[in-house]
Amino acid sequence: MRTREKAALAVAGLAVAAAGGTVFAGTSGAVGPSPAPSVQAAETSCVTDGAGMCTVQHALGAVPAVVVVSANTPGQFNAYTLNTVQGSYTATTFKVRAMFDQTTPKVGGAIWFSYAAYGAPIVQPTSSRLFPSATTPTTPESPGR
């Protein structure tokens, strides 16, 4: 980059800062668990059963650690809340439940939603031993014995 171009960028940055903006002088990498977890995100729909639930197929390849759901409905049809069902996660499915209020499920209705299923990071063992070796504590003999 030539000196004139550097000066123009510096002046532009000062102008943004003077106008109350934020100037970033670099980029940063993503911050998160290492190794990164596997993630599957999709948009889907289903028809709820008599309890307001339906089963969703996923292709994460493992039991999700977390599933986040968000209803995608036009304004006049979003009078329900959507949650995942505790204990329903398997390596291929999870369940969601749509409720009009705390006691009234959305029965037999179509629901549209987005989801993100997060797998736990795969942690490689650092040692071939699963458990440390057991040691037997020794107690000093008391004097006079």
- How far is C-alpha 49 from the chain's CA centre? 27
**pTM for the whole thing?**
0.59
Q: Quick one: which of 105, 83, 107 has its CA closest to 95?
A: 83
What the chain holds in terms of domains, given with CATH numbers, is 39-118 (2.60.40)
Q: Quick one: pLDDT at residue 26?
A: 43
Mean pLDDT of the chain: 75
Mean pLDDT, residues 40-63: 95
Give burial (CB, 10 Å; 0-12/13-18/19+) of 31.
exposed
Mean pLDDT, residues 16-31: 45
Does residue 34 register a pLDDT over 50?
Answer: yes
The predicted-structure confidence for 73-84, as pLDDT tens digits, reads as follows 776 666 889 999
